[in-house]
Amino acid sequence: MSVEATANVEKGNAWSGGRVPLGSSYGKLMMWMFLLSDAFTFSSLLVTYGYLRVTALPGWVAPEEVFHGIPFLVEEGLPLVFVGIMTFILIASSVTMVLAVEAGHRMDQKNVARYMILTIIGGLMFLSCQALEWTHLIENGLTLTFNPFKVPLGPNAGQNASTMFGDLFFVITGFHGFHVFSGVVINIIIYFKTIAGDFQKRGHYEMVEKVGLYWHFVDLVWVFVFTVFYLIY
Amino acid sequence: MSENIAHTSEPHDHEEHHFEIIEQGLHEIHSTRKEIWRVFFILLAITVLEFLIALTPAIKDGLGKSKVVGIFFFLTVLKAFYIVGYFMHLKHEKLNMAYTILIPLMFIAYLITLLLFEGSHQIHI
């Protein structure tokens, strides 16, 4: 048996043992598999949005009429600016995460810790923004069963838009927000393990890479949520 | 085995090789960071472009809804490419690995196509 296996390795068959065909460690591969399954979950939610939206009666809201203020600062007149800030925060925190991974490759403990802290702060800022936005919308009367916003165009213009908007908005951004929250918790754990020197002792910072994959995925999902909820009209 | 012997017999050469690796490493660090910031600015630029389209009624009315939605979709996928390819490093993974992740995503496109047809069909009932 072993003779045969050795012969296969020498023949150069990538899947016959003795090699790493995907060039990735078990942990990283499983993180990718988890993210793949999560991608399916999110895409089902977003596709459901599309399906319900084209069939919704009496009609859909105009995003620039729903999202037009900055909580505590400007009541209205600035469409999509607040969500723009949120998007910027999330992209920036993705960059600090990637810089933490890069510092990890150099075994630079101090910089890994520094960039992890910045990433955590970015995540917390994003969550705060989302909490403000939710509060603002709920105060305006948007709930799972009631939609105060009007249909802008078409034969039903002026009527209250489909309550499906509130359902989908709270479920999808809530599910995404929960992912961000989990990400922040995991980032905090990894931060403490970094400053404790665990990874330095282990000889590599692969855990930071795995958490980084998760964090970028959260950013990736937001890119799609952003397009679907705020841009498409 | 014979290579090992060759190396130990020429320690000077070995050292030079070592230096080369370090130098190469430094160069790589520099270019990795540069690439990170380059991707950041690309993502930022795409987002700003999306905002400009979303907030300019002239563009929306001029192109028509289906074209604008198509542009938004294209820009979103472009952003996804940069995040997955560079931030998640998939572009620099083995091809086997990239296919393992990307090919199953075809099912999402299938689901979107099916449900959008089904949805627009239901409108006309």
- What domains are there in chain A, each with its CATH number? 25-231 (1.20.120.80)
| Share of residues in chain A with pLDDT > 90 (%) | 55
Report d(CA B111, CA B9) in Å as an integer: 63
Query: What confidence tens digit (pLDDT) does each residue in A66-125 have?
Result: 887 776 666 666 778 888 889 999 999 999 999 999 999 999 999 999 999 999 999 999
Instruction: Answer yes or no: do A216 and B87 touch at CB < 8 A.
Output: yes
Q: What are the tokens at A74?
A: 């400007």
Instruction: Answer yes or no: do B108 and A40 touch at CB < 8 A.
Output: yes
A residues 71..100 contacting B (CB < 8 A): 79-80, 84, 87-88, 91-92, 94-95, 97-99
Rg of chain B on CA atoms, in Å: 25
Judged against a pLDDT cut of 70, whether residue B16 lies above it is answered with: no
Nearest residue in A to B77, CA atom: A224
The closest alpha carbon to A206, from A101, A115, A127, A134, belongs to A101
Distance from CA of A63 to the nearest CA of B (A): 10
pLDDT the model gives residue B14: 54
Distance from CA of B81 to the nearest CA of A (A): 9
| CB of B82 less than 8 A from some CB of A | no
Report d(CA A32, CA A23) in Å as an integer: 13
Q: Is residue B103 part of a domain?
A: no
pLDDT the model gives residue B25: 63
Residue with tokens 């069963």: A145
For residue B53, list chain A residues with Cβ-Cβ distance below 8 A: 231
Distance from CA of B92 to the nearest CA of A (A): 11
Confidence of residue A12 (pLDDT cuts 50, 70, 90): low
Q: Is residue B116 part of a domain?
A: no
Selecting from A44, A84, A99 the residue whose C-beta is nearest the C-beta of B36 gives A99
**A105/B21: higher pLDDT:** A105
Instruction: Answer yes or no: do B37 and A95 touch at CB < 8 A.
Output: yes
**B12/A143: higher pLDDT:** A143
Q: Is residue B65 part of a domain?
A: yes
| CB of B54 less than 8 A from some CB of A | yes
Query: What confidence tens digit (pLDDT) does each residue in A138-177 have?
Result: 988 888 988 888 888 777 777 888 888 999 999 999 999 9
Confidence of residue B1 (pLDDT cuts 50, 70, 90): very low
Please, what is the average pLDDT of chain B? 79
Phi, psi values for residue B88, rounded to 5°:
-90, 0
Furthest-apart CA pair in chain B: how many Å? 85
For residue B65, list chain A residues with Cβ-Cβ distance below 8 A: 233
Long-range contacts of A175-182 (CB under 8 A, 24+ apart): A175/A41, A175/A42, A175/A45, A176/A42, A176/A218, A176/A221, A176/A222, A176/A225, A177/A127, A177/A130, A179/A38, A179/A218, A179/A221, A180/A123, A180/A126, A180/A127, A180/A130, A180/A218, A181/A127
Select, from the ranges A38-52, B17-31, B53-67, the one with the highest average predicted confidence (pLDDT). A38-52
Instruction: Report residue B16 CA to chain centroid gap.
Output: 36
DSSP collapsed to 3 states, A88-131:
HHHHHHHHHHHHHHHHHHCCCHHHHHHHHHHHHHHHHHHHHHHH
pLDDT the model gives residue B9: 42
**B22/B60: higher pLDDT:** B60
Looking at the structure of chain B, the number of domains it has is 1
| CB of A227 less than 8 A from some CB of B | yes
For residue A36, list chain B residues with Cβ-Cβ distance below 8 A: 101, 104-105
**B51/A58: higher pLDDT:** B51
Q: What is the dihedral of CA A5, A8, A10, A15, to 10 degrees?
A: -100
pLDDT the model gives residue A6: 55
The boundaries of the domain holding residue B18 are 2-92
Q: Is residue B31 part of a domain?
A: yes
SS3 B33: helix
Confidence of residue B84 (pLDDT cuts 50, 70, 90): very high
pLDDT the model gives residue A161: 84
pLDDT the model gives residue B8: 43
pLDDT the model gives residue A77: 66
Q: What is the dihedral of CA A224, A226, A228, A231, to 10 degrees?
A: -130
Which range, of A25-39, A55-69, A128-142, averages the lowest pLDDT? Answer: A55-69
Q: Please, what sign has the CA dihedral across residues A172, A173, A174, A178?
A: positive
Q: Is residue B86 part of a domain?
A: yes
Judged against a pLDDT cut of 60, whether residue B6 lies above it is answered with: no
Crossing angle (nearest 10°) for helices A164-195 and A26-55: 160
Please, what is the average pLDDT of chain A? 87
Confidence of residue B4 (pLDDT cuts 50, 70, 90): very low
Q: Is residue B106 part of a domain?
A: no
Instruction: Answer yes or no: do A14 and B96 touch at CB < 8 A.
Output: yes
Q: Is residue B10 part of a domain?
A: yes
Q: Is residue B121 part of a domain?
A: no
| CB of A51 less than 8 A from some CB of B | yes
> B104: cis peptide before it, omega within 30°?
no
pLDDT the model gives residue B19: 61
The closest alpha carbon to B116, from A155, A176, A79, A228, belongs to A228
A residues 171..200 contacting B (CB < 8 A): none
